[in-house]
Structure 1
Amino acid sequence: MKKILLAFPLLLITVHSFGQQFSQYNTGTLYDSFENPSRGTFIPDSSRKFAFNFFLPNLSTNTFLTGNSQIPLKSRAFLGYYTTTNLTFNQGKMNRFNSNINYYSLMFKAFTNLEGNAEIGISVQSKAEARGLFSDETIALYNGPNAFADNHYDNIFNNQGTYQAYHQLSFTYREKINRKLALGVKLSALMGIRYQKLETTSSSLDINRPGDQALLIMRGRYHLNYNPGEFTGRDFLPTLRNPGLSAGFGVSLRTRDAFNLQFNLKDLGFIHWSNRSSIYNFAAADTIFQFSSNRRERNIYEAARHITKTNQKIGGFITPTNSKIEISANKNYWLDYDNQYKYSPTFIISKEVFFDGITAALVNPVQYKNYTVTLTTSYNNYKILSVGGQFMIKTPNVEFFAGSERLIPTARLALASAKNNGQINRNAAYTGEDIFFGAAFKFGPLIEHPLNASYVPIDNKPGFIRRIWNRLFGSGDDY
């Protein structure tokens, strides 16, 4: 993956993984309850009172790349050189990348109220979000002057891209109002790590073949958050330099015909990047020296860096998180008379709030005792069809899951990384990877109803949200 990053220095964006994970919907895992806050993770008379991941990573990550650059980038990453296979010139062909990582390092929840079926939790997670468009000619540039038939080109590097990474410290509260309705909220403090945004509005390239040089000219805008010195691994540690807030809300509703509906607004938030950050309104030129040498990658990077870091203005700015609105419908079906095999399909529509992404997904889990196998299909507005799978082991107090929502592209990329020429030279609808996994455990006293309890409960009054609900709408369980 580090070699692939060399292909994007003109964008000045460090590409991390981007993902949208549907397979955990309605699983009742600890991960599901933090991503969809109206979902419960405890089962009275079966579960222990506390749920914790014991600092085991719960991770969701994926990336996709579309366009003609797939073969050149794979050949550079895994064979050490670029090709110009499928690349076009002066046709305005663009390549799209989209990427994200969602990593929970800590998840803890407690069941606090049997009557209100209430849960509270805290979590610590880290996220990275990236997206962008870049031209075929951008990749051809790294193959040197022989990739270009002419000596002058206009507007072939009009690229754009955004990348931000941040930590998220969250508090969640979930309460079951009655037999049909549950509400949940997730409130988070954000700590920005890194932000970069590049928009190039005009560009040109003039090649001096006898001098083995090229003159690169670009105009546009570049945002870069403040960082004291060169960015290093220490800068991933949480600080209050770039504060932010986000909120998420969820509603779970069970209908009379046994459908389980969910409505989620996920992590609607903003980050204020330090007032010492930089905004560059660049319009400059620089020379790429030794254009045909094996140092050209570094020389191209330095030329682009010198151009984009001109006409600096110091000041803070505010950016949104990649919030989503999601609606889902689920229903359970028993596949046999003995009720051993359960099929629980979930249909999901997900729309990004601040961007144009929209995805439809169908999740198909089949459960036998404590084992669940899931087939997931999804399709988005970028015309990308994905097929994935998940394996999960889940008891009332232990859970483990792993899978991929893009099985075939992930396998192809793994084969390409093993220097399989057939996969390296394959220009598919898209190149991508997707991996997710997690685990959690419950401990403490057993959650017991009063008639089954081995002790007498002291405080069993309705939860906070239900008390307000009862005052407004009455105390009946039906409505």
Structure 2
Amino acid sequence: MNRIFVCLFFVLSFLSASAQQFSQYNTGSLYDSFENPSQRAFIPDSSRAVAFNFLIPNFDANFYVTGRAQSALKNRAFLGNYDVSALTPPGKGGLNHFNAGGNNYWVMLKFYTNLSGDVEMGFSAQTKVESKGLITDETIRLLSGSSTFPDDHYENIFNNHYQLQIYDQLSYTYRKRFSKEIAFGFKLSYLSGVKYDKIDVENSAIQFNRIPDINGNESAVISMQGRYYHSYVPGRLDGRDFLPNFRNPGASITIGASYLTEDGITIQGNIKDLGFIHWSKRSFINDFNNSANINGINSPNREDNIYNASYKLFSGNAAVTGFNTKTNAKADFSVTKNYWFDDEKTIRYFPTLIAQKELFYPGFTGAWVNSVQKNNLIGTLTATYDDYKLFNLGLQVMVKSPNAEFFIGTERLINTGRLTFAALKNKTQINHVGSYTGANIFMGFSLKFGRVIEHPMNSSYIAMGEKGFFGRLFGRIFKTYN
């Protein structure tokens, strides 16, 4: 599959990348405690004192595309050709919004360090992707060739906007309960930038040359004016570039607090991933205003030809310089309450209402999370609605005991199913144009080990002065619980 198609659509769905995962709120999972740092991961007198994911990735990957281009992109992805019949006619201004992101925890390690205040401390390593943009119908139409453009000249039909940011995040997290009602937590992070690209096209034009050359290939001259940001990567992007380094340093902070009312309602607020990345001075910014010739625009290699000509246009005469970018910070507010269905407290219903706002972008999402727990099994049905007028239903299944947890789910249940059928070459789903095409999947696992956290009056263990491995390793750093 050619590079430009990958950049525009399909690879975004497979990046272990900054979607919010609402289904985990108030589940008490290790993932939840790192994402919402005022949330506890340990239960005294039940849990063991060390939680770890054993290097098994805990991830959330998400993408969607809106607009009339959905059918054309699915046809190209799953059948190998474009069907542009659903696109708006050239020059009519059809736009498609896309968003992709996710969050992959490679390492999650947390310790319960003090019974006085329920103090928890932890370390994590994760990779994030943040990507969004607007792409015109004519851009997708051009990838299918020139034959569906009735005129020879068009203005401003390729005014696209695209942004991709990938970075590693190494974090220290701390959580403390100040009273029965109030808990506070934070996550301090060092960021290591992996890749950044941003393209803003403000003006564009194309002139088709319908006279074929000696090989029967037509050509076109494309002109664009705008700005292109590109981070420095030594050579081709590969696995080594995802290792943390100091080439593109940054920092971020997440702060959260929760309050338990007299009525048993938990109110929680967070500011998440408020930070920046400074990209290397070997990166470049280019204010382009140029033209490029696209040969073979009706040939089987047209997608690569379009990509190569466009990249040359974007990157020519660039100024080598460093620059700063923001992370996609969010603020959220939630309320939840427990309802027990039996006297033995084996069946619990805990709904959560969540409002989340992106701080530097227009994105706003409201979520209603409905979780039911019976013993160690939790089922969650989530409904979300955002300012792009996209409604979603999600489903999560979690198996959780005090010392082990596994969960899997999606927050785009219907659309993930539709895309799965499309990938199986179901023609109805491939040609379906709904409010959006997209998918989401998340999954996680962790275990707790070590000594059981016990209050002194309930203790079944009498300290004799011996220390285990983690006691020797971390005894000088953390206060031990009593």
- TM-score interval, smaller chain: over 0.9
Structure 1 residue 414 corresponds to structure 2 residue 420:
yes
Contact 2:136 2:157 in 1 (8 A): yes
1:35 corresponds in structure 2 to 35
Distance in 2 (alpha carbons) for counterparts of 1:209 and 1:394: 64
Distance in 2 (alpha carbons) for counterparts of 1:7 and 1:238: 28
Alignment of 1:67-106 (within 5 A): 67-88=67-88, 89-106=90-107
Question: What displacement does 1:105 show?
Answer: 0.5
| Structure 2 gaps, min length 5 | 213-217, 465-482
Distance in 2 (alpha carbons) for counterparts of 1:227 and 1:80: 31
1:404 to 403, 407, 410: 410
Distance in 1 (alpha carbons) for counterparts of 2:344 and 2:195: 54
1:179 corresponds in structure 2 to 180
2:368 corresponds in structure 1 to 362
Paired AA for residue 343 in structure 1? Y
1:347 corresponds in structure 2 to 353
1:323 corresponds in structure 2 to 329
Q: What do the CA deviations read for 1:130-173 (whole angstroms, capped 9, x no partner)?
A: 00001000000011111111110000000001100000000000
Higher deviation after alignment, 303-312 or 34-43: 303-312
Question: What displacement does 1:46 show?
Answer: 0.4
2:132 corresponds in structure 1 to 131
Distance in 2 (alpha carbons) for counterparts of 1:350 and 1:196: 26
Contact 2:53 2:447 in 1 (8 A): yes
Question: What displacement does 1:6 show?
Answer: 3.8
Distance 1:218 1:119, change over 3 A: same
Question: Structure 1 residue runs of 4+, over 6 Å off?
Answer: none
Distance 1:164 1:126, change over 3 A: same
Question: What displacement does 1:314 show?
Answer: 1.1
Contact 1:10 1:138 in 2 (8 A): no
Distance 1:441 1:8, change over 3 A: closer
**TM-score for the superposition, normalised by structure 1:** 0.93
Distance in 2 (alpha carbons) for counterparts of 1:115 and 1:239: 37
Paired AA for residue 46 in structure 2? S
Distance in 2 (alpha carbons) for counterparts of 1:378 and 1:121: 30
2:436 corresponds in structure 1 to 430
1:441 corresponds in structure 2 to 447
**TM-score for the superposition, normalised by structure 2:** 0.92
Paired AA for residue 87 in structure 1? L
Question: How many positions carry a matched residue from both structures?
Answer: 456
Higher deviation after alignment, 315-324 or 15-24: 15-24
1:7 corresponds in structure 2 to 5
Q: What do the CA deviations read for 1:365-392 (whole angstroms, capped 9, x no partner)?
A: 0111000110000000011101000000
| Structure 1 gaps, min length 5 | 459-479
Distance in 1 (alpha carbons) for counterparts of 2:4 and 2:227: 21
Q: What do the CA deviations read for 1:101-143 (whole angstroms, capped 9, x no partner)?
A: 2000000000000112100000000001100001000000011
Question: What displacement does 1:10 show?
Answer: 7.7
Contact 2:12 2:63 in 1 (8 A): no
Higher deviation after alignment, 14-23 or 258-267: 14-23
Distance 1:453 1:14, change over 3 A: closer
Contact 2:18 2:128 in 1 (8 A): no
1:51 corresponds in structure 2 to 51
Contact 2:12 2:100 in 1 (8 A): no
CA-atom RMSD in angstroms: 1.7
2:231 corresponds in structure 1 to 225
1:464 corresponds in structure 2 to none
1:244 corresponds in structure 2 to 250
2:284 to 278, 284, 299: 278
Contact 2:394 2:409 in 1 (8 A): yes
Structure 1 residue 301 corresponds to structure 2 residue 288:
no
Distance in 1 (alpha carbons) for counterparts of 2:43 and 2:385: 33
1:377 to 344, 359, 383: 383
2:469 corresponds in structure 1 to none
